[in-house]
Chains A and B, each alone.
Chain A
Amino acid sequence: MKRISLLLFAALLLLPLPAFAADLFIAQAANFMPAMKEIIPMFEAKTGLSVEATYTSTGKLYGQITNGAPFDLFLAADEKRPAKLFADGQSEEPFVYAKGQVVLWSMNPELCKGSWQDAVQAETTRKLAIANTETAPYGTSAMKALQAAGLWDSAQPKLVFGQSIAQAFQFASTGAADAGFCAYSSVFTEEGGKGCFLAVPEAPEVIQAACVLKSAPHPDAAAEFVKFLGTPEVAAVKAKYGYK
């Protein structure tokens, strides 16, 4: 028995982990994940290259990159961080790959009957999820919309802060918060389809920039992917998820 478990343990150590074998490593801001899950297989089918993507908040990815994480390409949720990498000589020149929009999402269809301002002020909206206004670009955009509508101060007691736009959606979609400012793209996910949403035109467009890293272990594959991002096929996927 002991020998069998030892053998099993040794076999576990020998298991090949495919994550280490990709031809291209992408650091991807979480909000773009639904679109990326379609873009990557298209790219892999077209080029035969394998792609590995890490999805988390832009701030965390930026921290990993500045500390030497071996990514090839950084697709951020803002313009600020790629610009900073470029200014610090750590990346090639950034380019815009998508423009996103903030929506107000809720599990409760009643809330979507009026305007988003009504929904924010509604008695039944006791907790309102928003992404961190300092680190998450979608949070900053949502804050600007609330300020423009003159609701920022009165909404304070209702606000709960997610670390990323993905967490703001998580708070709203689990019903823990009554509504939440989310990325338009999340509406197109399976969970997003279970609720309703309202457009927030006062929220400035979130301009998402990308850059190839100077330290990229696979610069050729990265260049190939950048080229692919400009194709009509990708434009169609982006449009499908509400990006421009």
Chain B
Amino acid sequence: MDWTPLLLSAKLALLTTLLIPVAAAPLAYVLAFFRFPGKSVLDAFVTLPMVLPPTVLGFGLLIIFGPQACLGGAWEGLFGERLVFSFAGVLIASLIFNLPFAVQPMRASFEKLDSRLLESSAILGLSRTAAFFRVVLPNCLGGLAAASILVFAHSLGEFGVILMVGGSIPGETKVASIAIFEAVEALRYEDAFRMSALLVPVSFVVLLIINKINARKP
């Protein structure tokens, strides 16, 4: 049996989890603490990938990652590699797809934060950016951990979006979910079973960890 798809899934999940806070944390911060016109529009826009069928999102990304579209064309001009059907493309798709799954728990934990902490830090002269790194983040580690683990589990099982933008290239975009799907279609049930048998306990353990974190009182 070929283990490459499972390793590829693990790599994708790990990189998504490591990179997603860069985009998600500022968004969650803005959504939790700021009031501005158009906030509900931003909120809806960030949450959209959670509600859209993955096939719809995947089809949209297939088109904008393609060489004819501005994003895909610019990428190909810059790196000489096509964005669609590449690991980079799948990773970007995974980041977009997972954004709401990271933003929501982070935002919830930011909103639970005692407002007196922020008030005192403002009185003591901390800027909003400094307050974010020195007060908000250290006090919301639980929410951040929950978000990371949710994103990790979610990208491990991602199927619909990758099916659309991946093109099932071994070692590049053929992740575990696609390999399992293909094995079932090819009537190689044995292979499908072995790969699933590894994914199920991993996902289960991940959920146990989330429950542990959520049960912990701050």
A interface residues (Cβ-Cβ under 8 A, vs B): 57, 59-60, 62-63, 126-127, 129, 132, 134-135, 159-163, 170-171, 174-178
Let me know if A162 and B185 touch, CB within 8 A.
no
Let me know if A63 and B185 touch, CB within 8 A.
yes
Pick from B167, B168, B186: contact of A59, CB below 8 A: B186
Once A127-B82, A175-B67, A176-B85 are accepted as A-B contacts, the answer to whether A160 and B185 lie under 8 Å apart by CB is no
B157 to chain A, nearest CB (A): 17
Let me know if A163 and B62 touch, CB within 8 A.
no
A161 to B163, CA, bound (A): 10
B109 to chain A, nearest CB (A): 32
Let me know if A161 and B66 touch, CB within 8 A.
no
Residue B43 lies at the interface, judged by CB distance under 8 Å to chain A: no
- Chain A residues with Cβ below 8 Å from B66 are 174-176
Residue B84 lies at the interface, judged by CB distance under 8 Å to chain A: yes
A191 to chain B, nearest CB (A): 13
B4 to chain A, nearest CB (A): 14
Residue B181 lies at the interface, judged by CB distance under 8 Å to chain A: yes
Once A159-B169, A160-B168, A163-B168 are accepted as A-B contacts, the answer to whether A176 and B182 lie under 8 Å apart by CB is no
Let me know if B85 and A127 touch, CB within 8 A.
yes
Residue B87 lies at the interface, judged by CB distance under 8 Å to chain A: no
Let me know if B185 and A176 touch, CB within 8 A.
no
- Chain B residues with Cβ below 8 Å from A132 are 168, 182, 185
A178 to B85, CA, bound (A): 12
A126 to B174, CA, bound (A): 19
B interface residues (Cβ-Cβ under 8 A, vs A): 62-63, 65-68, 72, 82, 84-85, 163, 165, 167-169, 174, 181-182, 184-187
Once A174-B63, A175-B67, A177-B85 are accepted as A-B contacts, the answer to whether A161 and B169 lie under 8 Å apart by CB is yes
A194 to B131, CA, bound (A): 56
6 interchain pairs (CB within 8 A)? A132-B185, A159-B169, A163-B163, A163-B185, A175-B67, A178-B67
Question: Which of A126, A176, A177 has the most chain B CB within a 10 Å cutoff?
Answer: A176
Let me know if B186 and A135 touch, CB within 8 A.
yes
B1 to chain A, nearest CB (A): 15
Once A174-B63, A176-B66 are accepted as A-B contacts, the answer to whether A160 and B85 lie under 8 Å apart by CB is yes
Q: Which residue of A lies closest to B174 (CB)?
A: A161
A68 to B185, CA, bound (A): 16
Pick from B65, B181, B184, B187: contact of A176, CB below 8 A: B65
The 4 closest A-B pairs by CB, nearest first: A160-B167, A59-B185, A161-B168, A176-B66
A225 to chain B, nearest CB (A): 26
Q: Which residue of A lies closest to B185 (CB)?
A: A59
B62 to chain A, nearest CB (A): 5
Let me know if A176 and B84 touch, CB within 8 A.
yes
A135 to B63, CA, bound (A): 26
- Chain A residues with Cβ below 8 Å from B182 are 132, 134-135, 163
Let me know if A162 and B82 touch, CB within 8 A.
no
- Chain B residues with Cβ below 8 Å from A127 are 82, 84-85, 167
- Chain A residues with Cβ below 8 Å from B169 are 159-161
Excluding A175-B68, A178-B67, 16 further A-B contacts by CB distance (< 8 Å) are A62-B187, A127-B167, A129-B167, A134-B182, A135-B182, A135-B185, A160-B167, A160-B169, A161-B168, A161-B174, A163-B163, A163-B185, A174-B63, A176-B65, A176-B85, A177-B167
Question: Which of A57, A126, A170 has the most chain B CB within a 10 Å cutoff?
Answer: A126
Q: Which residue of A lies closest to B66 (CB)?
A: A176
A76 to chain B, nearest CB (A): 13
B165 to chain A, nearest CB (A): 8
- Chain B residues with Cβ below 8 Å from A159 are 169
A60 to B84, CA, bound (A): 25
- Chain B residues with Cβ below 8 Å from A161 are 167-169, 174
B189 to chain A, nearest CB (A): 10
- Chain B residues with Cβ below 8 Å from A63 are 184-185
A175 to B62, CA, bound (A): 9
Q: Which residue of A lies closest to B188 (CB)?
A: A134
A170 to B164, CA, bound (A): 9
Q: Which residue of B lies closest to A175 (CB)?
A: B68
A62 to B189, CA, bound (A): 13
